[in-house]
């Protein structure tokens, strides 16, 4: 029997989902039926998180309850906080996030309970505590005092508060919120598929999210937003951009923040994020990265017909907001926890062990020789 191999599961439909729909043919992305752009225009991140997890947009009353629960769960245990202070200062914050969620799994009283209700309670704890854990690491590694979360601040405002000790103006918070909405969910991408695969053995939500974070770290997935910033820093100024990108393409380099497995003629999330990148650049009175952005994008489209993905505008946007470059992918994590969790719950509800086959191409059958005969 000849095995037809689809490397990287290219083009393979492995399951059904009700969470989101990626439509490259019409350049659209919907969460539970709502266009991501429409959600960015009319909702704050908490409303979208509720939608992804519960299937419907919240009423005012439901949102208030959801926000209250999230704010209540923000506090970290003393053990976790002490552990975070002891994490190696030079470790990557994605590894810190992975370890923090794993520790939350050790501490959670309901870790083993995979019932829908227990899963929802655990999601709320992971969703509320992960940003707090990350912000604690953000400060601890700089030798700065850790800032406690504040219950009167929104999810995004609180993250700024815990990282920087202050909340920026409304436009910056909105741009951050928009980036979280755009990062929240994207169907069967690598990290989501990882989370579903872990779940398929009937493992628990902390384990599945820990694995998903490890998967997101890679530069071909979430790690691309950091790589974009490294590229922009290498380019340094707009005058260098044309020469730099042409040389990189001559060398056949992979340009981070460009290309996508599903979108081949443009990522539906880019126009919205590009707009907010522009707004942040204007507020910060720093147009340098926008100029580099436009030059590199034009050459990529003209020479390779390869379009930017959402990591291209988020990278410089987070930089302008003041975040360290290695914190860009962790920001992706605090948002994508919603999408991962919805998929984990969906997988538990209609589970089938994910176990593909492989075409064997190793040695032919052979006999084991005793140690003294080899």
- By CB under 6 A, name the one of 168, 211, 259, 313 that touches ligand COA: 259
How would you classify the pairing of strands 20-23 and 34-35?
unpaired
Nearest-CB residue for ligand COA: 259
Instruction: Respond yes or no: is residue 343 known to be catalytic.
Output: no
Shortest reach from residue 221's CB to ligand COA, in Å? 6
Choose the binding region for ligand COA from 31-39, 259-267, 317-325, 359-367 (rule: CB under 6 A). 259-267
Q: Is 257 in the site for ligand COA (CB under 6 A)?
A: yes
Residue 214: is it exposed, middle or buried by C-beta count within 10 angstroms (0-12/13-18/19+)?
middle
Indicate the SS3 state at residue 21: strand
Which lies closer to ligand COA via its Cβ, residue 11 or residue 88? 11
The residue from 177, 206, 311, 319 that is catalytic is 311
- By CB under 6 A, name the one of 191, 309, 338, 341 that touches ligand COA: 309
Which lies closer to ligand COA via its Cβ, residue 126 or residue 224? 224
Measure the CA–CA gap between 63 and 57, rounded to whole angstroms.
Answer: 9
Shortest reach from residue 192's CB to ligand COA, in Å? 12
Of the candidates 232, 226, 224, 288, the residue with the CA atom closest to the CA atom of residue 256: 224
Q: Is 333 in the site for ligand COA (CB under 6 A)?
A: no
- By CB under 6 A, name the one of 52, 140, 198, 256 that touches ligand COA: 256
Instruction: Respond yes or no: is residue 311 known to be catalytic.
Output: yes
DSSP secondary structure letters along 182-203: HHS--SS-HHHHHHHHHHHTT-
Task: Please state the length of the chain.
Answer: 374
Which lies closer to ligand COA via its Cβ, residue 87 or residue 263? 263
CA angle 344, 349, 350 (to 5 degrees): 105
Instruction: Respond yes or no: is residue 230 known to be catalytic.
Output: no
How many residues sit close enough to ligand COA to count as binding (CB under 6 A)? Answer: 16
- Cβ-based neighbour number of residue 181 at 10 Å: 28
The residue from 161, 260, 319, 343 that is catalytic is 260
Q: For residue 22, what are the β-bridge partners? A: 29
Q: Is 258 in the site for ligand COA (CB under 6 A)?
A: yes
Q: Is 220 in the site for ligand COA (CB under 6 A)?
A: yes
Which lies closer to ligand COA via its Cβ, residue 65 or residue 304? 304
The residue from 15, 221, 324, 326 that is catalytic is 221
Non-local CB neighbours of 255 within 8 Å, separated by 6+ positions: 231, 245, 248, 249, 296, 300, 306
CA angle 331, 74, 96 (to 5 degrees): 45
Residue 342: is it exposed, middle or buried by C-beta count within 10 angstroms (0-12/13-18/19+)?
buried
- By CB under 6 A, name the one of 92, 121, 261, 284 that touches ligand COA: 261
Residues that bind ligand COA (CB under 6 A): 8, 220-221, 224, 254-261, 304, 306, 309, 311
> What residues are labeled active site?
221, 260, 311
């Amino acid at each position: 029997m000849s095995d037809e191999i689809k490397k990287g599961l290219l083009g393979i439909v492995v399951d059904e989902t009700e969470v989101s729909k990626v439509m490259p043919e019409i350049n659209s992305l919907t969460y539970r039926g709502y266009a991501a752009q429409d959600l960015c225009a009319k909702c704050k991140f908490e409303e979208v998180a509720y939608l992804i997890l519960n299937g419907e947009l919240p009423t005012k009353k439901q949102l208030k309850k959801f926000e209250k629960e999230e704010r209540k769960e923000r506090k970290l245990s003393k053990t976790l906080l002490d552990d975070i202070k002891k994490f190696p200062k030079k470790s990557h914050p994605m590894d810190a996030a992975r370890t923090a969620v794993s520790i939350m799994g050790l501490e959670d009283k309901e870790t083993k309970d995979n019932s829908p209700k227990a899963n929802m309670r655990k999601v709320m704890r992971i969703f509320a505590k992960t940003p707090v854990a990350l912000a604690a690491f953000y400060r601890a590694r700089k030798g700065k005092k850790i800032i406690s979360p504040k219950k009167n601040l929104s999810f995004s405002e609180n993250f700024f508060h815990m990282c920087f000790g202050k909340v920026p103006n409304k436009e910056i918070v909105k741009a951050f919120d928009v980036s979280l909405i755009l990062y929240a969910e994207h169907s069967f991408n690598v990290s989501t598929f990882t989370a579903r695969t872990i779940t398929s053995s009937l493992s628990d939500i902390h384990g599945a999210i820990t694995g998903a974070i490890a998967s997101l770290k890679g530069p071909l997935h979430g790690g691309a937003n950091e790589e974009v910033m490294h590229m922009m820093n290498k380019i340094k100024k707009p005058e260098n951009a044309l020469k730099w990108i042409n040389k990189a393409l001559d060398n056949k380099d992979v340009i981070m923040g460009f290309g996508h497995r599903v979108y081949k003629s443009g990522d539906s999330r880019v126009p919205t994020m590009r707009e907010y990148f522009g707004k942040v650049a204007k507020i910060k009175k720093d147009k340098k990265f926008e100029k580099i952005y436009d030059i590199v994008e034009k050459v990529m489209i003209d020479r390779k017909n390869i379009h930017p993905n959402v990591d291209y505008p988020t990278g410089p946007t987070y930089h302008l907001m003041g975040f360290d470059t290695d914190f860009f992918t962790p920001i992706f994590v605090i948002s994508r926890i919603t999408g991962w969790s919805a998929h984990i719950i969906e997988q538990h509800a209609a589970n089938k062990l994910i176990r593909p086959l492989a075409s064997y191409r190793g040695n032919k059958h052979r006999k084991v020789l005793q140690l003294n005969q080899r």
